[in-house]
Structure 1
Amino acid sequence: MAAIVLGVGASHSTLMNTHWDQVVHTERAEAFRDGLAAARARIAEARPDVVVVVGSNHFRGFWLDLIPSFTLGVGEVVAAGDGGTPQGPQRTDPEFARALAAALVDAGTEVAISARLTIDHGQTHAIQWLLDGIDVPVVPLVVNVFAAPLPRMSRCVELGANLAAAVAGMPDDKRVVVVSSGGLSHQLPWPSDWTAPEGEDEEFLVEAWLNGRGQWSRYDKRRREIIVGARPTIFSEFDEEFLADLERGDLRSYAELTTEEIEARAGNGGQELRTWMVMASALGFAPGQALAYSPMPEWLTGMGAAVIERGESTP
């Protein structure tokens, strides 16, 4: 039978690609980059046949006209190429992805499917840094972390458990790695309520979220200026506690956090921790290993990287 053999969690930020020359905290930046390299080495050692990449979408493949809680790419996958990340068609395994989607629905997690999915740096940053030189197909699993109402953390835990069971039920012997991309703490200049934007910048962002389908690049220049101009807000104490709990195998308790509690403790960008919860749950909440943590105000984010080996209780 197929099996999940490794889980990896890693923060993403396109500013790592586009603004490296403006980094002040050089040692921190290099430490995080080294952590990504260590995670990549662990993935290579795991010899995966397929990698499920759990990440968000920053309004380049999904728009306010339709945003499911969970979406699985089951056919063509095209990378947007934003912020210096990979661009164009990605190598995929549609047969595995479709079987995975069917098994998840049978288990009670009704994932949406996309036969032509556009992914952005919410997943391609991980592909760029963690799968560099590893020739393996990817199956994107997109979690809505931006447009309220967001899926409950407990539903993300359920998704991860059902993902593990679905993989274990596959008839072949594929080795599967689950990568989560996003977080840790950060605060983006998004409107807190997309139905009631405040000020010209928020009004522009909501317009882009509503009307960007097929023309996201038209909005990208100003959108990026808004983001780059944001005041860094990082909750290092929360990040360090989260990674310590990951090492102890204690992340299950985070399933009780509400959207409001996450934002208060980790900023609105902390909502991306849902992707880590999917991954950790798929690995049976086994104790893991933090590979790096670097609070990077230049990248607006607390940057963390960690791995979790397959736990004894994982199907």
Structure 2
Amino acid sequence: MSVALVCMSHSPLLEYADPPADVTAAVDAAFDQARAFVRDYDPTLVVPFAPDHYNGFFYDLMPPFCIGYEALGVGDYGSAEGPLDVPTAVAERLAEWVAERDLDIAISRRMEVDHGAIQPLEILFNGIDTVPAIPVFINGVAKPFVKMARVRKLGEAIGSFLATLDDERVLVIGSGGLSHDPPVPQWATADDAQRALLLNGRHPTAAARDARQHNVINAGKAFAAGTATIRDLNPEWDQALMEVFTSGDLTPIDAMSAAQMAEDAGNSAHEVRTWVAAFAALGASGPYTVTSSFYRPIREYIAGFGVMTARTAR
């Protein structure tokens, strides 16, 4: 058994925005480096930790964590639709393992995942079913949020299970963040139409999905032009967090509060919970080394954009 990691920001605007050429080249180079890392490692199993953006999980029932026994992409922002190759028997054992370690875990036998889970698989593997994958949803948009220590413990529990898979080369993926505050409605300030979406917006019409996506695309253009009212990016916050991940000691993250995270880095900065879980899962197998680290604040993507790769010493 061995474990490796790729953590990366995602953005629905990757294919819809036009950053300066040097920024695009830098992001492409970081993706190429991550792809080479994954090619060299040649994983036999992938565990993507990902949020959702009210495409698969809604306020009619919003768990803090969920393990997918089966999963399919919903196809938002041009991402791939259809089933992932989920090894259901292994996913069932994983959920039982986590539950036995005093962590409440939801399960789904038909998890619907959006670009948050799909984009890394397409970037790293050029498809969503080319390697077996067990998706793990971590709520990163919908209040209330569990404590960060709980997210770290979830990652450690999953990592301890992965350590029992003697014949597997496991790649854990953390998808999301870093600082960003896209125009995702908040329940407390949402109007009736927005609340209907947040409560249960499953399977929208093509026109409804297109309208919602164009709202984000237009927000990205306004943010890049400096005319949007959303919270600014916070490169200092982003890079300080990446330094914690590099250190191998994740316990300082336990002190981070949900309210302060939103204040410092935007409402969607909670997506970094996926990075916390992924690094905790990696660390459960022993000391690790970060092999590459990239960061740029990219207004066109409404994201503090980071990519990190790491491996255990085993």
> Do the two structures share a fold, i.e. TM-score over 0.5?
yes
TM-score, normalization by structure 1: 0.89
Work out the number of aligned pairs and report it.
Answer: 300
- Mean Cα deviation higher: 279-288 or 146-155: 279-288
The AA in structure 2 aligned to 1:137 is P
CA deviation after TM superposition for structure 1 residue 4, in Å: 4.3
Is the aligned partner of 1:18 residue 2:16? Answer: yes
CA distance in 2, matches of 1:144, 1:32: 26
TM-score, normalization by structure 2: 0.89
Q: Indicate the residue corresponding to 1:35 in structure 2.
A: 30
Indicate conservation of the 8 Å contact 1:246/1:287, yes or no: no
1:299 corresponds to which of 298, 301, 313:
301
Unaligned runs of 5+ in 2: 220-227
- Mean Cα deviation higher: 109-118 or 120-129: 109-118
Is the aligned partner of 1:228 residue 2:229? Answer: no
2:197 corresponds to which of 182, 203, 208:
208
Indicate conservation of the 8 Å contact 1:79/1:120, yes or no: yes
2:161 corresponds to which of 153, 166, 183:
166
Within 5 Å, give how 1:125-204 maps onto structure 2. Answer: 125-132=119-126, 135-170=130-165, 172-192=166-186, 194=187, 196-197=188-189, 203-204=192-193
Indicate conservation of the 8 Å contact 2:181/2:267, yes or no: yes
Indicate conservation of the 8 Å contact 1:60/1:216, yes or no: no
Indicate conservation of the 8 Å contact 1:246/1:289, yes or no: no
Is the aligned partner of 1:95 residue 2:89? Answer: yes
The AA in structure 1 aligned to 2:209 is D
User: Secondary structure of the equivalent of 2:145?
Assistant: coil
Per-residue CA deviation, residues 193-213 of structure 1 (Å, 9 max, x unaligned), is x1x325xxx543322112312
The AA in structure 1 aligned to 2:62 is I
Shift in alpha-carbon separation, 1:215–1:5, aligned structure 2, 3 A: same
Within 5 Å, give how 1:236-315 maps onto structure 2. Answer: 236-284=235-283, 286-310=288-312
CA deviation after TM superposition for structure 1 residue 226, in Å: 2.8
Shift in alpha-carbon separation, 1:4–1:262, aligned structure 2, 3 A: farther
Aligned Cα RMSD in Å? 2.0
The AA in structure 2 aligned to 1:197 is T
Per-residue CA deviation, residues 237-265 of structure 1 (Å, 9 max, x unaligned), is 11122223322324431121010111122
The AA in structure 2 aligned to 1:16 is L
Indicate conservation of the 8 Å contact 1:61/1:119, yes or no: yes
The AA in structure 2 aligned to 1:10 is M
CA deviation after TM superposition for structure 1 residue 274, in Å: 0.3
CA deviation after TM superposition for structure 1 residue 41, in Å: 1.6
User: Secondary structure of the equivalent of 1:138?
Assistant: coil
- Mean Cα deviation higher: 269-278 or 257-266: 257-266
Shift in alpha-carbon separation, 1:234–1:290, aligned structure 2, 3 A: farther
